């Protein structure tokens, strides 16, 4: 069987005739079937994937193939692909078929990638463990007793289990980076406005970004290069030119900061703390400036995130009412009961909790106390984070406080689950780019990631530094 190492070596092997797209698709489909018990895929797109494989094989022969020729990609189940189902892992969208393709999918297909299927995730991307899917939990391929993380848990697990070469996820508060950390793969959240959200089912529109989960940093760079950039269908996307991320080279004179309280956190797994401390020492030995800085707003990050994202979600999810599309309750008798019953029966518990919380913080009596206040805190957090970036090029921190936890161990206590996001939400609140790279394993052999953040639109520097650190 073909062993995938990187997109660059795959391209080489395809050109040399060592493998074919059709062979790759068939092999991936059989591996997915073999690993069915992990519940990673909600559906595979056999017919369209095999058709695309034939087309791309012909292009390779003719020497006209694109930069992602033969790369087999899985989509998180909230990214639209024309004429294919998409459900956001929710009963409310079960059997819904996309009428158009997201911009990211079009750009991948333009470069001859092959989309193999849609992966399981937390319902409407709300969760940190993939246990909120309406279609069952995903097992972490590294240790099946544990969760793969969330909400892009299926995407991270698909890459980790070698079922695909690349997967796309979405990251609103850590949903690419946290599962990447739990499954031992690379996960990149681009700057807000770097990648089009056209065709991404919205959770919290001012936080959401699509990004890649990959085996290598170079692969993440290449996928970003292809999916990033202006798009007439999304007014929040920047028209800044897209750099050649694949050519990003390490810069020795970088200044790196870490936030003191992040490393002093009692909840931080000692293995992760140890690993980061060693990385800091190595960087210092190489002549990098690495300093601890204070960031007093740390304790406000998770509350700010949950006030603002639930507010945005309550508005975004108001479109699902059983009328224009999606699940419609059979028990409804009139218009009002159609809305009520369809939403009550169609949405899962966590989604309902967030819609109610979001509606509450936006309600006339509490708007100023919660929503307006959280917006103000968001501004302070952004200003303070950008102030660190005046003196430093990169902020280094853990991706998660711990490694993958056992199924069911945090479901009873939402606050415990929300605290999983302590290190990841800062990048979404401020909009800066962030990456999680595999950093090591703890005593139980469970992987964890190291996270880097950079100034807005400095993905080049982010990726270059990530490469340097991963080679230390
Ligand atoms: N775990 C976070 C949450 O539950 C992040 C979700 C995300 O990034 N989509 O909201």
Q: List pLDDT tens digits, range 212-267.
A: 999 999 999 999 999 999 999 999 999 999 999 998 886 667 999 999 999 998 88
Confidence of residue 414 (pLDDT cuts 50, 70, 90): confident
Asked if 187 and 447 count as a contact pair (C-beta separation under 8 A), the reply is: no
169-178 confidence digits (pLDDT tens): 999 999 999 9
33-74 confidence digits (pLDDT tens): 999 999 999 999 999 999 999 999 999 999 999 999 999 999
76 given a catalytic annotation = yes
Distance 308 CA to ligand 1 centre (A): 12
Q: What is the pLDDT of residue 325?
A: 86
Active-site annotation holder among 151, 170, 196, 342 = 151
In this structure, the dihedral spanned by the alpha carbons of residues 36, 40, 41 and 42, taken in order and rounded to 10 degrees, is 100
> Terminal CA-to-CA distance of the chain, rounded, Å?
31
Superfamily, domain 7-247 = Amidase signature (AS) domain (3.90.1300.10)
* Two tokens, residue 405: 């936890």
Q: What is the pLDDT of residue 337?
A: 96
Active-site annotation holder among 128, 175, 314, 436 = 175
Of all protein residues, the one whose alpha carbon is nearest to atom 10 of ligand 1 is 126
Mutate to test the pocket of ligand 1, among 173, 349, 434 (most ligand atoms within 8 A of CB): 173
* Two tokens, residue 417: 């689950």
Of all protein residues, the one whose alpha carbon is nearest to atom 1 of ligand 1 is 128
Active-site annotation holder among 35, 48, 76, 129 = 76
Query: Which residues, listed in sequence order, are joined to residue 194 by a DSSP beta bridge?
Result: none
Asked if 40 and 154 count as a contact pair (C-beta separation under 8 A), the reply is: yes
**φ, ψ of residue 89 in degrees (nearest 5):** 50, 35
175 given a catalytic annotation = yes
Distance 221 CA to ligand 1 centre (A): 23
Give yes or no for residue 119 CB within 6 A of ligand 1: no
Give yes or no for residue 125 CB within 6 A of ligand 1: yes
pTM for this model (two decimals): 0.97
């Amino acid at each position: 069987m073909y062993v995938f190492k990187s997109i660059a070596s795959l391209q080489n092997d395809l050109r040399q005739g060592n493998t074919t797209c059709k062979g790759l698709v068939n092999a991936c489909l059989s591996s997915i079937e073999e690993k069915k018990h992990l519940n990673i895929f909600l559906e595979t797109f056999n017919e369209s994937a095999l058709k695309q494989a034939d087309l791309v094989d012909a292009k390779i022969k003719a020497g006209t193939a694109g930069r992602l020729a033969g790369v087999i990609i899985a989509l998180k189940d909230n990214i639209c692909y024309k004429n294919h189902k998409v459900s956001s892992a929710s009963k409310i969208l079960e059997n819904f078929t996309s009428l158009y393709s997201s911009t990211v999918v079009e750009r991948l297909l333009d470069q001859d990638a092959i989309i193999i299927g849609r992966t399981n995730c937390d319902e409407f991307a709300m969760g940190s463990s993939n246990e909120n899917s309406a279609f069952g939990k995903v097992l972490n391929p590294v240790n099946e007793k544990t969760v793969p993380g969330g909400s892009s848990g299926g995407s991270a697990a698909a890459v980790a289990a070698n079922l695909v070469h690349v997967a796309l996820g979405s990251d609103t508060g850590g949903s690419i980076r946290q599962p990447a950390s739990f499954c031992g793969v690379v996960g990149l959240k681009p700057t807000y406005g770097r990648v089009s959200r056209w065709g991404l089912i919205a959770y919290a529109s001012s936080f959401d970004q699509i990004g890649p989960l990959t085996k290598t940093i170079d692969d993440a760079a290449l996928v970003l290069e292809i999916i990033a950039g202006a798009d007439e269908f999304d007014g929040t996307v920047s028209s800044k030119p897209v750099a050649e991320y694949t050519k990003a080279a390490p810069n020795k004179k970088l200044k790196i900061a870490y936030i003191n309280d992040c490393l002093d956190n009692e909840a931080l797994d000692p293995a992760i703390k140890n690993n980061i401390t060693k990385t800091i020492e190595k960087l210092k030995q190489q002549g990098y400036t690495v300093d601890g800085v204070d960031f007093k707003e740390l304790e406000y990050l998770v509350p700010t995130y949950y006030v603002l994202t639930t507010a945005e979600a309550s508005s975004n999810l108001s479109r699902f009412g059983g009328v224009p599309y999606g699940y419609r309750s059979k028990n409804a008798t009139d218009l009002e009961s159609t809305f009520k019953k369809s939403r009550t029966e169609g949405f899962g518990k966590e989604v309902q909790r967030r819609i109610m919380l979001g509606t509450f913080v936006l309600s006339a009596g509490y708007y100023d106390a919660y929503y307006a206040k959280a917006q103000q805190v968001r501004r302070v957090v952004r200003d303070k984070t950008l102030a660190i970036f005046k003196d430093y090029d990169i902020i280094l921190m853990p991706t998660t406080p711990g490694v993958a936890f056992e199924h069911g161990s945090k479901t009873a206590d939402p606050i415990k689950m929300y605290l999983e996001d302590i290190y990841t939400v800062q990048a979404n609140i401020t909009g800066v780019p962030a990456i999680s790279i595999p950093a090591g394993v703890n005593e139980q052999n469970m992987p964890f990631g190291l996270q880097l953040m950079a100034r807005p639109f400095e993905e080049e520097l982010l990726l270059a530094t990530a490469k340097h650190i991963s080679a230390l």
